[in-house]
Amino acid sequence: MAAIKGDKTAVRVTIIPRIDVAEIRRRLKMTQAEFSRAFSLSLDSVKNWEQGHRSPVGPAKVLLAVIARDPLGVQKALAAYR
């Protein structure tokens, strides 16, 4: 409520780091096609993210953040649904 009244000390800003899809993919030594297949992502989405035409949002951003930390865990989890 204080922020609405103009109190700038009551404002909290959360900065969400940009997900660098190309960096994640290169670290895993995968092509775009391999990366998209391995993590059930659209190849077009991977290309658009890497080329800067779009940015991952919502569940895709969360999935990419988890892939960056535990790619094998994500692959194991996805294998149960294939």
**10 belongs to a structural domain:** no
Q: How many domains does the chain have?
A: 1
The domain that holds 26 is classified in CATH as: 1.10.260.40
Q: What are 9-37's pLDDT values in tens digits?
A: 766 766 667 899 999 999 999 999 999 99
Percent of the chain having pLDDT more than 90? 76
In a domain, 7, yes or no: no
Name residues whose C-beta falls within 8 Å of residue 22's C-beta, 6 or more positions apart in sequence. 50
Q: What is the pLDDT, as a whole number, of residue 52?
A: 94
Residue type, 15: I
Residue 30: predicted pLDDT: 98
Does this model's pTM top 0.75? My answer is: yes
Give Cβ neighbours of residue 41 (< 8 Å, ≥ 6 apart).
35, 60, 63
Q: Is residue 2 part of a domain?
A: no
Distances in Å between the alpha carbon of 39 and those of 4, 22, 42? 42, 14, 9
